[in-house]
Amino acid sequence: MSVPVVGVLALQGAFVAHERALRSLGVSTRQIRTPADLANVRGLVMPGGESTTMSKLLDSSGIFDEMDRLLADGFPVFGTCAGMILLAREVLDGRADQRSFGVIDIGVRRNGYGRQVDSFETDIPVQGLSAPFHAVFIRAPKVERVGDGVQVLAQYEGVPVLARQGNVTVASFHPELTADARLHEQFLRHHDLI
């Protein structure tokens, strides 16, 4: 049986840390920098970074349109921090030229938890995990609206920070910055990738 290949968007952000987490779970990874790199991958992780820059890079690389088509066909994706912003239906304070895929029915505010100096870490209970997950928030987006079809998997102070809708999972925080791969594993298992 062949090992599934999961793509990691490698335009900006901590994509190497995501690759490390995925590989620790026995899957192969591929860095995604062009539309052709998406061929034969079974899922995708979109890391954190700067969402407006990532939006521009997705356009200039030609990846945006191919990803848009794949997402419409049910392609599994896990977006963290900026990845959450790029997947959200509504970006409450986005720039006029910033594009998002609009595939999870949430409204998010970029840097909703504050600037870099306001970054923090905390343990949060996560649906489906037996022990809390240590979450690292760095200039994190804040979810301000959740649609009816969205399943909230974790909250911090009553605000959703981990959510899923269909083939899309998003996190406000950076699970790749810990040694705990349980959220990557949860994503992979949910989509039968391990």
CATH number, residue 79: 3.40.50.880
Would you place residue 1 in the very low, low, confident or very high pLDDT band (cuts 50, 70, 90)?
low
Q: Does residue 134 have a pLDDT over 90?
A: yes
Mean pLDDT, residues 101-120: 86
Domain count, the chain: 1
Quote the percentage of the chain above a pLDDT of 70: 98
Q: What is the mean pLDDT of residues 170-175?
A: 96
Q: Could you read off the pLDDT of 60-96 as tens digits, one per residue? A: 999 999 999 999 999 999 999 999 999 999 998 767 7
Q: Report the C-alpha gap between 185 and 165 in whole angstroms.
A: 17
* 81 is an active site residue: yes
In this prediction the pTM is 0.94
Domain containing 185 equals 5-190
Grade residue 181 by pLDDT with cuts at 50, 70 and 90. Answer: very high
171 pLDDT tier (thresholds 50, 70, 90): very high
Which residue among the candidates 176, 184, 185, 191 is catalytic per the annotation?
176
- Average predicted confidence (pLDDT) for the chain: 93
User: How much is the average pLDDT of 152-165?
Assistant: 98
Q: Please pick, among 18, 19, 66, 174, the residue that the annotation labels catalytic.
A: 174
pLDDT of residue 113: 77
pLDDT of the residue at 62: 95
**50 flagged as catalytic:** no
- 174 part of the active site: yes
